[in-house]
Chain A
């Protein structure tokens, strides 16, 4: 009897251990916890990454980065390419057990388009004229213009209609504390230490291996690399340049390079009294040694325009910026400034600019100090200010109360620079305006033929570079670090977690 019992006990122990094996949580660290878990209001990459785990879109990327159906089962695009009918997957459930239906798709599109919601993602559905529910699992979309590949634009996350009262959704809506999605993981708790625990969605339409994922906020960047070396976390989404060598040498950590489609820039306030003069802007640009600014903070590639060099829209014919002090001197003199041996002045007043940088941009401090030194050596005084998120939004976005700004832009695969460089663009706070560029950007947005889009944007690159609305700096090499104990890892170059349902920690 005792022998049978002990065999039973041993077997159940082994069985228990095998299930426990997958119960090792996958912990990843972010600089900053997401401020809000609601795909309507996503503004930061950490929020976007969390959305990848918790929500699904109609389409997603496959491992060759082509669109593949996610919540959609099959779809037909009309011959004139002005509409599409989507047949949704039939047995999908929300995390709270409710069935996923066409209502949810229609609701999401309407909420995103609703100006009262002020969704940050509104631009993603601007091309949809209307969305109509045909039946519980069929949605019909009409477009404003012929669409070449609508599935590429249907990656935005779908929200549950039954969790909201109307299509006017506010940031403070209770959904943010109890997000419900269809994704492979569901949010279980928001913890006291700003970490978020997520567990496997047992009803997901594909099998999910990993039981638990925990997002941890590690604000102090000095600790992030140490945490992964000490195996306190399994994944580090952005590795700081100074930690690269240490992590690469560590055999228990694997590095994954990333394409972030993001570039840094020094923006000018083109409407400002002194910077309105193109000669002044050009002179400032000619004084900046971009390579020297880049060196202390990491490795990357210098850019000459609003795209990354690996982008199809990047115009490699535009020459790289070189330091040219003589040219800068002659430009400033022509603009009416006088160099008194120590500094540039006009009417006796020294040329001074305020440089605003966001506090949250890592290593910005080093760049600012460096830049300040470069300008001072040429006789121009720069006063740096580091602004918090709220202050940045107010002073830079709303009031345009700055002379220079140091910041970066990140784009997704569509690389749509309209909002930043079109005169009507919502994020064009540098005040850039060029009719020709406007026309090119309009053409690019509406282009059906990808070749035409490429040509238009390449031309725009040339014109923007010549107008010097900002000094384009660089795109940084980015790496993610993951513990080798995480198996079957394929990392999405932008969203990181797109294929996380296959991962597990061993």
Chain B
């Protein structure tokens, strides 16, 4: 993830902002769990121990067990794999589509701009969630399909952001100066405008997309029917699973709520910090 290779300027930003630093660290933990979980030998299927149902936190089960005796902490960790890697895939897909399209539209203007922007407006006219629900219904409920579709559904937002930035800078002095010096257009566009001027904006949007994917996956798993199905854990279906079986403050009921909320806030704070001030967008 980009946070792992933050350039110096961003690093200074984080140092000034302890909340954002904590948030970034938390996210790092989540991402690592998500990648490590893919290789884990913990088998959620065989973890059922009827005699150990609804234990409180203690040695062996740091967050207790749910009403089928499954370890809550391990399931929380395992659930990360269902949104970390797919979330990154969504970011990749979105970036691959939206950055070139938005940049070219902003740089060229005219019919190209109108055409590209129209396509994105059309895609944005269908509410994202509805579009994704349709895709799942028609093409089947496959994890990586959802990731790719989410990337495509978010692309208009990213493209509009990139477009706005590039278009605003199109007639900036240093661009005109570069042209006067004979710097080729593509270099101006990609190196100066996209990389130098827009990368933080893009980073902010991609982190936001990652957060959106997390919300999407947990929402679908919470409601059921689509998303991660039992016995595979997701923070969404863990929320729905133990409700009604234990008191509200029991860890098996509270932990998924807390973890999900904290992660989403963390993502928002990191996105904000990476992207600079809100007005910067």
Do these two chains really belong together in a complex? yes
Instruction: Indicate if the CB atoms of A366 and B231 lie closer than 8 Å.
Output: no
Using A369-B231, A372-B45, A374-B48 as known contacts, list a sample of 20 further A-B pairs with CB atoms less than 8 Å apart, ordered by residue number in A.
A221-B244, A222-B243, A242-B244, A292-B50, A296-B50, A296-B53, A296-B68, A365-B230, A366-B67, A366-B68, A369-B68, A370-B50, A372-B48, A373-B45, A373-B46, A373-B48, A376-B43, A376-B46, A377-B46, A384-B230
Number of chain A interface residues as a range: 10 to 19
Neighbouring A residues of B45 by C-beta, 8 Å = 369, 372-373, 376
Q: At the interface, yes or no: A251 with Cβ under 8 Å from chain B?
A: no
Q: At the interface, yes or no: A295 with Cβ under 8 Å from chain B?
A: yes
Instruction: Indicate if the CB atoms of A373 and B47 lie closer than 8 Å.
Output: yes
Instruction: Indicate if the CB atoms of A369 and B230 lie closer than 8 Å.
Output: yes
Instruction: Indicate if the CB atoms of B50 and A295 lie closer than 8 Å.
Output: yes
Neighbouring A residues of B243 by C-beta, 8 Å = 222
Cα of A256 to Cα of B236 in the assembled complex, Å: 36
Interface string of B149-179 (1 = CB under 8 A from A): 0000000000000000000000000000000
Cα of A128 to Cα of B244 in the assembled complex, Å: 49
For the complex formed, measure the closest distance between the CB of A245 and the CB atoms of chain B, giving whole angstroms.
12
Neighbouring A residues of B47 by C-beta, 8 Å = 373
Neighbouring B residues of A295 by C-beta, 8 Å = 50, 53
| CB-CB nearest in chain B for A382 | B45
| CB-CB nearest in chain B for A372 | B45
Neighbouring A residues of B261 by C-beta, 8 Å = none
Cα of A366 to Cα of B45 in the assembled complex, Å: 12
Which B228-259 residues sit within 8 Å CB-CB of chain A? 230-231, 243-245
For the complex formed, measure the closest distance between the CB of B229 and the CB atoms of chain A, giving whole angstroms.
8
Cα of A377 to Cα of B45 in the assembled complex, Å: 9
Cα of A222 to Cα of B244 in the assembled complex, Å: 6
10 A-B residue pairs with Cβ-Cβ distance under 8 Å, sorted by A, are: A221-B244, A295-B50, A369-B48, A370-B50, A372-B45, A373-B45, A373-B46, A373-B48, A377-B46, A384-B231
Neighbouring B residues of A366 by C-beta, 8 Å = 67-68
Neighbouring B residues of A369 by C-beta, 8 Å = 45, 48, 68, 230-231
For the complex formed, measure the closest distance between the CB of A355 and the CB atoms of chain B, giving whole angstroms.
12
Interface string of A269-305 (1 = CB under 8 A from B): 0000000000000000000000010011000000000
Residues of chain A touching chain B, judged by Cβ–Cβ distance below 8 Å, are: 221-222, 242, 292, 295-296, 365-366, 368-370, 372-374, 376-377, 384
Count residues on chain B whose CB falls below 8 Å from chain A CBs. Answer: 14
Neighbouring A residues of B67 by C-beta, 8 Å = 296, 366
Cα of A222 to Cα of B242 in the assembled complex, Å: 10
| CB-CB nearest in chain A for B48 | A373
Given contacts A296-B68, A369-B68, A373-B48, contact A242 B245 (CB under 8 A): yes
Cα of A368 to Cα of B53 in the assembled complex, Å: 16
Cα of A377 to Cα of B244 in the assembled complex, Å: 29
For the complex formed, measure the closest distance between the CB of B50 and the CB atoms of chain A, giving whole angstroms.
5
| CB-CB nearest in chain B for A226 | B244
Neighbouring B residues of A376 by C-beta, 8 Å = 43, 45-46
Cα of A377 to Cα of B43 in the assembled complex, Å: 11
Cα of A373 to Cα of B53 in the assembled complex, Å: 14
Neighbouring A residues of B48 by C-beta, 8 Å = 369-370, 372-374
For the complex formed, measure the closest distance between the CB of B59 and the CB atoms of chain A, giving whole angstroms.
23
For the complex formed, measure the closest distance between the CB of B230 and the CB atoms of chain A, giving whole angstroms.
6
Neighbouring A residues of B244 by C-beta, 8 Å = 221-222, 242
Neighbouring B residues of A372 by C-beta, 8 Å = 45, 48, 231
| CB-CB nearest in chain B for A242 | B245
| CB-CB nearest in chain A for B243 | A222
| CB-CB nearest in chain B for A385 | B229
Cα of A222 to Cα of B240 in the assembled complex, Å: 10
For the complex formed, measure the closest distance between the CB of A84 and the CB atoms of chain B, giving whole angstroms.
51
For the complex formed, measure the closest distance between the CB of B237 and the CB atoms of chain A, giving whole angstroms.
10
Say which residue of A221, A222, A242, A370 sits within 8 Å of B68 (CB atoms): A370
Cα of A374 to Cα of B230 in the assembled complex, Å: 15
| CB-CB nearest in chain B for A381 | B45
Cα of A365 to Cα of B242 in the assembled complex, Å: 12
Neighbouring B residues of A377 by C-beta, 8 Å = 46
For the complex formed, measure the closest distance between the CB of B43 and the CB atoms of chain A, giving whole angstroms.
7
Neighbouring B residues of A222 by C-beta, 8 Å = 243-244
Cα of A350 to Cα of B198 in the assembled complex, Å: 52
Neighbouring A residues of B245 by C-beta, 8 Å = 242
Cα of A366 to Cα of B240 in the assembled complex, Å: 13
| CB-CB nearest in chain B for A224 | B244
Interface string of B37-51 (1 = CB under 8 A from A): 000000101111010
| CB-CB nearest in chain B for A368 | B230
Tell me which of A296, A366, A370, A384 has the highest count of chain B C-beta atoms within 10 A of its own C-beta.
A296
For the complex formed, measure the closest distance between the CB of A471 and the CB atoms of chain B, giving whole angstroms.
17
Cα of A374 to Cα of B45 in the assembled complex, Å: 9
Neighbouring A residues of B230 by C-beta, 8 Å = 365, 368-369, 384
| CB-CB nearest in chain B for A294 | B50
Neighbouring B residues of A292 by C-beta, 8 Å = 50
Tell me which of A221, A242, A295, A369 has the highest count of chain B C-beta atoms within 10 A of its own C-beta.
A369
Neighbouring A residues of B50 by C-beta, 8 Å = 292, 295-296, 370
Neighbouring A residues of B231 by C-beta, 8 Å = 369, 372-373, 384
Cα of A296 to Cα of B43 in the assembled complex, Å: 20
